[in-house]
């Protein structure tokens, strides 16, 4: 089995300066500074196979971006071992840097006052891409991302979605074997998010690029990733398929139904936890093991004409995991 990414007992600590408020605190800090140690990543281990598209999720401050920066060589870890494509990232080997790309939704790499095409040409020289490879890849990506009309317009005049697509194009020109995506759809409208998800899915399929995605939008994760790694407070909470995650942690299912007669709240409360109730339409939350019996009771006692059973959404499952942790 070929692993592009190997992480073993990765930890990263930061020293944080703390100052008491007010003038007294400022004067005291001139003579004695107080620091505390924050463990951003705490003994995390996982492997990722070639061509996998893995979701790396967690709440704000969980350690996601710190991990990606360690994998891409931007940070030197406090302890542990990391191998990406056989290289140690923080050694910043020239050949290693030519084989990876890091796209951060909140960071820009394009020259603000120049057309995006100028930044593309600069990257061509930085990554030593041949003319044939560069222009062939450029044309393919422009078609896939629908950027033909904007690459010669100054970046500052582009919309957020157009800039994000140009950022992606710039990062993919050298055909990276491993792609780190950190919140690539942040701030985009739902239409643009959908377009980028379609692009990522197609790109991963055709190029067999190994992709690690961090996102707070669970739609990104659900559509693109079969496997998720969940991290919170720097610790690994889960590593496996989304289907297994839901089976293991979704203790409830929801039953939505339509009745031919008005439903009384007190009657429905005896059957399950009410999520919504509007005259003849209702949604209740029921423990998984009780779903067959509750469904039968609804059909028998509430003149139900239509009934639907759904798993908890991935958003709800993740929320419960974080709440418990």
Higher-pLDDT residue of 84, 254:
84
| CATH number of the domain located at residue range(s) 3-247 in this protein | 3.40.50.300
Distance CA 209, CA 257 (A): 44
Confidence class of residue 36 from pLDDT cuts 50, 70 and 90? confident
Q: What is the pLDDT of residue 101?
A: 93
Alpha helix (H) residue ranges in 87-174: 94-97, 116-126, 131-145, 160-172
Q: What is the pLDDT of residue 88?
A: 95
Q: Contact, 140 vs 201, CB < 8 A?
A: no
pLDDT tens column, 178-217: 999 988 888 788 888 888 888 899 889 888 999 999 988 8
Distance CA 206, CA 214 (A): 21
Confidence class of residue 222 from pLDDT cuts 50, 70 and 90? confident
Query: What residues contact residue 212 under an 8 Å CB cut-off, 6+ apart?
Result: 5, 48, 54, 56, 68, 71, 178, 179, 180, 181
Q: What is the pLDDT of residue 15?
A: 84
Mean pLDDT over each residue of the chain, to the nearest integer: 88
pLDDT tens column, 152-161: 999 999 988 8
| CATH number of the domain located at residue range(s) 252-324 in this protein | 3.30.70
Q: Do domains 3-247 and 252-324 have the same CATH topology?
A: no
Higher-pLDDT residue of 250, 245:
245
pLDDT at 25 over 80: no
Q: Which residues are bridge partners to 81 per DSSP?
A: 8
Closest to 69 in 3D by CA, of 195, 220, 212, 204:
212
pLDDT tens column, 258-280: 888 888 888 888 888 888 888 88
pLDDT tens column, 160-180: 888 888 998 999 999 999 999
Task: Map out the domains of the chain as residue ranges.
Answer: 3-247, 252-324
Q: What is the pLDDT of residue 322?
A: 77
Q: What is the pLDDT of residue 243?
A: 85
Residue 290, number of CB atoms within 10 A of its CB: 14
Q: What is the pLDDT of residue 4?
A: 95
Helix (H, G, I), strand (E, B) or coil at 179: strand
Q: Contact, 307 vs 256, CB < 8 A?
A: yes
Q: What is the pLDDT of residue 7?
A: 96
Averaged pLDDT for residues 17-25: 76
pLDDT at 105 over 80: no
Burial call 85-110: b when 16+ CB within 10 Å, e when fewer: bebebbeeeeebbbbbbbbbbeeeeb
Q: What is the pLDDT of residue 325?
A: 63
pLDDT at 56 over 80: yes
Averaged pLDDT for residues 281-305: 87
pLDDT tens column, 279-291: 888 898 888 888 8
Q: Contact, 181 vs 142, CB < 8 A?
A: no
Averaged pLDDT for residues 137-143: 90
């Amino acid at each position: 089995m070929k692993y592009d990414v190997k992480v073993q007992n990765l930890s990263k600590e930061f020293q944080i300066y703390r100052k008491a408020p007010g003038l007294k605190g400022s004067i005291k800090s001139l003579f004695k500074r107080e620091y505390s140690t924050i463990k951003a990543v705490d003994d995390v281990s996982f492997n990722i196979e070639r061509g996998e598209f893995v979701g790396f999720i967690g709440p704000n401050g969980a350690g996601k971006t710190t991990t990606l920066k360690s994998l891409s060589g931007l940070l030197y870890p406090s302890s542990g071992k990391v191998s990406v494509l056989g290289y140690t990232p923080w050694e910043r080997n020239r050949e290693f840097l030519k084989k990876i790309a890091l796209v951060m939704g909140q960071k820009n790499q394009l020259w603000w006052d120049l057309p995006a095409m100028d930044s593309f040409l600069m990257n061509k020289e930085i990554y030593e891409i041949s003319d044939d490879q560069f222009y062939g890849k450029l044309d393919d990506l422009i078609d896939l991302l629908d950027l033909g009309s904007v690459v010669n317009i100054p970046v500052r005049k582009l919309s957020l979605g157009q800039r994000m697509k140009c950022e992606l194009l710039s990062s993919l020109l050298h055909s990276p074997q491993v792609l780190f995506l950190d919140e690539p759809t942040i701030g985009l409208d739902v239409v643009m998010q959908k377009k980028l998800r379609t692009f990522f899915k197609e790109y991963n399929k055709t190029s067999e690029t190994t992709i690690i995605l961090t996102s707070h939008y669970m739609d990104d994760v659900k559509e693109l990733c079969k496997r998720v790694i969940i991290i919170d407070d720097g610790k690994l909470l889960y590593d496996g398929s989304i289907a297994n995650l839901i089976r293991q942690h979704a203790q409830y299912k929801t039953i939505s139904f339509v009745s031919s007669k008005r439903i009384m709240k007190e009657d429905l409360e005896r059957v399950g936890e009410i999520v919504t109730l509007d005259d003849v339409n209702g949604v209740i939350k029921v423990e998984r093991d009780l779903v067959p019996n509750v469904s039968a009771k609804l059909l028998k006692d509430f003149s139900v004409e239509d009934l639907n059973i759904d798993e908890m959404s991935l958003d709800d499952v993740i929320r419960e995991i974080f709440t418990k942790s």
